[in-house]
Amino acid sequence: MDNVNYDVIATEDGSLIKMWTRGVPVEESAKQQLGNTARMPFIYKHIAVMPDVHLGKGSTIGSVIPTLGAIIPAAVGVDIGCGMMAAKTTLTASDLPDNLGPLRSAIEKAVPHGMSPKTRGYRGRDEGSWHTPPSAVDLAWATLKDEFDVICEKTPKLKNTNNYRHLGTLGSGNHFIEVCLDESNGVWFMLHSGSRGVGNAIGSHFIELAKQDMRTHFINLPDQDLAYLNEGTSHYDNYVEAVSWAQRFARTNRDVMMHNLIAAVRTVITKPFETHVEAINCHHNYVQRERHFGEDVLITRKGAVSARPGELGIIPGSMGAKSYIVRGKGNADSFHSCSHGAGRVMSRNEAKRRFTAADHALATAGVECRKDDNVVDEIPMAYKDIDAVMHAQRDLVEVVHTLKQVVCVKG
């Protein structure tokens, strides 16, 4: 009997790809991209592919890339440390107001989001950043500033990023804040964001340095976005320092947003309540050193979540779909990983071509959220079936809570 829930693909040179994608569609372009990555000479053991896999820049989103002696900056990406945070509260569904509009408005005012005044719907922020950061941002930035100053001595261009004013802000695209109900009608707060502009600047800078290194050493690649930094070089050392800081910025960013989100909810719901009854703060775009199969290796999770034995994680669905709080099973072949969401089945432009604001309103019925043309690219039908995604990775995680959003704030 076959007790293995993944498929193994071998490339022409014998490199291995293990795919937890049974019952989930994977486009041919993503398979080609996986093959390109698996053939890189420093890949350790195999590439692990999550069920939400889809085409990315250089490497697929939804893949786990173990390496020895090198890092691919584009595999980590430019939204360094992007991830999720969720906190259970002592509130129940009956404690929420019948009209959820004011609750959504309070959250939107408390957390800068989006990219322009038209989409934000309020004044006082510039490009989704703080005009005057509150004290919570000042306190958080104080824990990050000294190390950032050291990084800027080596990479002066980072000084000009909107780092301080982006701390505690959501961003745009698929970043979101949600109020959710679990299977027992308990209220959860959940949010999705990363390292914002400063992470983008760090990622973009080192991606370009890696490409320059490839040209300098006449190294041919199947895709220029697989350009890598070799361990022992100054570029590598500087990148490791900067990317580690960006990941800490991202985690702190989510902490600050959660703090302001809770304060905003208290202005609408006057009943006393506690939060962080259960709390998770996890990355899904990052790199860190871990031990697997008896070796210390660098693990890049590009759209994947750590799922060590007993470790809690978050797998969100799309707007209008379920999300999951999960517990890792510590599957060795996946390098202790699971998916980071449902995964797109079409591009944002394709979603806008296929669907209308009316389609989006119907698909998100019962959710207090934006339903205008500017968020049609986030329509649930642009994503894979979250139930199929969860079934495909049943040997990676177990479901602890099932969440359904009732309020969603999009960037």
Residue numbers annotated as active site: 340
Q: Cα–Cα distance between 149 and 132 in angstroms, integer?
A: 21
Q: By three-state DSSP, how is residue 310 classified?
A: coil
Question: Measured between alpha carbons, how far is 295 from 335 in angstroms, rounded to an integer?
Answer: 12
Provide the residue count of the chain: 411
Strands, E assignment, 242-284: 279-283
Alpha-carbon distance values, 326 to 186, 337, 398 (Å): 16, 11, 6
Burial pattern 187-206, b for ≥16 Cβ within 10 A else e, equals bbbbbbbbbbbbbbbbbebb
The identity of residue 323, as a single letter, is S
Distances (CA, A) of 250 to 25, 169, 172, 196, 254: 31, 10, 15, 8, 6
From the number of C-beta atoms within 10 Å of its C-beta (0-12, 13-18, 19+), residue 128 rates as buried
Give the span between the Cα atoms of 371 and 106, in whole angstroms. Answer: 18
Pairing state of beta strands 285-292 and 295-302? antiparallel
CB 316 within 8 A of CB 113: no
Q: Among 313, 386, 381, 304, which residue's Cα sits nearest to residue 346?
A: 381
Which are the contacts of 346, defined by CB distance < 8 A and separation ≥ 6?
A: 354, 382
Q: What is the C-alpha to C-alpha distance for residues 373 and 114, in angstroms, rounded to an integer?
A: 14
What are the CB-based long-range contacts (under 8 Å, 24+) for 371-378? 374/119, 375/319, 375/410, 376/351, 376/352, 377/348, 377/349, 377/351, 377/352, 378/174, 378/318, 378/319, 378/351, 378/410
Token pair belonging to 121: 């719907």
DSSP 8-state class, residue 343: -
**Residue 9 Cα distances to 12, 59, 216, angstroms:** 10, 16, 33
